[in-house]
Structure 1
């Protein structure tokens, strides 16, 4: 991103500026809402036209038909077997709907949407004249974004269970609640001047953003999705699936797994032993004893928690300590369950009155459809 990658100390990595010289301090600045992150590893698709919202509602997992201007949400595109093909953050400005996606998926998603238009009055375009800036809505970074003409801000819905969604994580203190993550869509021409005005404590790299995401148990298409991924496995029903909307491709599988079965895999958080100074790469195998039970999907060094990772494990993997094998080194991993092995078959299936007249207490992990 012009202006940021030219700063002194900028270290480039996959997809953009990895850090500006001090990843741990940048995490602290970012978490405090003081720093902006240039998100060159994301892209934007603009969907315009009078029928855009109803059309997107009919072909994706989220209820967006009545999305209000400025309102944010998230959607998935599933294949007929309910597996995740694409994921996007969504915000509407009243005349167009903007989809924030991982850059590697932008052309594929735009192509799929274009093929699905048929007679729909909508246009689909990957926008190369805008830039994306990530920040936490807790400090001065928010004020800087407000000074940019034409900025549109997406608020990550991961902070809470969305209307019509469901959380499998059985915890009263979900770490996602503490991450008020925002992404601003800004004109590319505004970036160089903005970058020139920022001090060292006001910028952060992609490593900082990833560390906060992983600590919040937040799944991402570029990391947690493969050809087998169901949204249930990574607790994505929390923010990207509306269980009470009409039919869409893959909806039958989503409903069947949630109401009657269990996903074959589950997302877990791992706290890694850092004594060997080896940080495993995504894809590193995870073992329980001699049995390989999964693999690492995302990994980072967190400024407070140390080495952390997300891993996709077999549903039958034990819930205790595990081992990650990387570069011939076995790394001890303390497991924190995100999606439990018995996830699924937990929805409030209506009971016949003649079988039980007792009222059922509401499940705090699910929001009301009218929320």
Structure 2
């Protein structure tokens, strides 16, 4: 693993080529774990947010590992080949996730292996004819389901046309010694700009130690609301049915007049009050400077915010991803408190 090139000299051109399915992006910062054994699907299903028991050979899914309080600890992009479950993950989670999974095997018939050194992960939009690795006659390709609400999932966004509706992203595993010289390359900044514009959350950027799936609209692709029990399920159900997520992901359209782009981690303010943090920024070839930010749920969606930068505060208009009233889907009326005075 390493750090993927940010660009090859033409960031906007690389974005256009990547979006059009004319180039690929090498994701050198990704890792690959495998789970083998007859219990692999039922076992991971019991631990994580997605329904995996019905996964067929070649099928893709996305699932989250939560802590007992429902906060996100890991995100996994999974492909099954009928004998092995392949986990495509962010490289920063490689060691911690492998160790945790190994500890949770108990007497079940599963084995964990780290295959990161054997493969390179290549991102693309559509099938470009890459020399994809094959396992048990199944190409090792993960197809992102972000374009629509996955079975058992839920979308909080009320956008008439979700910007992820045309998202046909995939990640392919290729052997480390594969010759990719015939494929045009885009840098990681190209993928990041397209991802931000599609409102697509990512573990290594949007998740902190407080994140729950609802805040990111990640229940759209990674949470099955009617599957069996798993760690953190109580919080998922309670917030979805009765409560509201404390924060919400928002797309910010940044004032580009100063030519500055804030960094991830920059404070987002409303007046004198800090209301959130930028998680990722990009210069998009059509939208201009944009950012994803996590802000407090109660911030009025019509307010113009300010983002801290090296050149001072940058004005930022909100585009709502998760509405301020997201959650409470069960519509259970609030009961008056005992002893409350009626007026």
Q: Same fold (TM over 0.5)?
A: yes
Q: Secondary structure at the match of 1:19?
A: coil
Q: Secondary structure at the match of 1:343?
A: coil
Matched, 1:68 2:56: yes
Alignment match of 2:3 (pick from 15, 32, 35): 15
Number of residue pairs the alignment of both structures matches: 326
Alignment match of 1:277 (pick from 238, 252, 259): 259
Consecutive unaligned residues of structure 1, counting only runs of 5 or more, are 2-13, 350-371
Distance 1:223 1:118 in 2: 32
Q: Secondary structure at the match of 2:77?
A: strand
Runs of at least 4 residues off by over 4 Å: none
Q: What is residue 225 of structure 1 aligned with on the other side?
A: 207
Matched, 1:323 2:306: yes
Q: What is residue 119 of structure 2 aligned with on the other side?
A: 130
Q: What is residue 337 of structure 2 aligned with on the other side?
A: none
Q: What is residue 360 of structure 1 aligned with on the other side?
A: none
Matched, 1:152 2:140: yes
**Cα deviation 1:63-89 (Å, max 9, x = unaligned):** 001101111110000000000000011
1:248 Cα deviation from its structure 2 partner: 0.4
Q: What is residue 212 of structure 1 aligned with on the other side?
A: 194
Higher helix share: 1
Q: Secondary structure at the match of 2:129?
A: helix
Matched, 1:243 2:225: yes
Distance 1:132 1:59 in 2: 25
Q: What is residue 316 of structure 2 aligned with on the other side?
A: 333
Q: What is residue 294 of structure 2 aligned with on the other side?
A: 312
Distance 2:311 2:133 in 1: 52
**Cα deviation 1:109-148 (Å, max 9, x = unaligned):** 11111111111111111211011000001xxxx2422x44
Q: Secondary structure at the match of 1:176?
A: coil
**Cα deviation 1:312-336 (Å, max 9, x = unaligned):** 0001112121110112511010100
Alignment match of 2:250 (pick from 264, 268, 281): 268
Structure 1 residues 149 and 282: alpha-carbon distance in aligned structure 2, compared to 1, 3 A threshold:
closer
8 A Cα contact 2:62 2:77, kept in partner: yes
8 A Cα contact 1:288 1:318, kept in partner: no
Q: Secondary structure at the match of 1:47?
A: strand
Distance 1:212 1:23 in 2: 12
Distance 2:45 2:63 in 1: 9
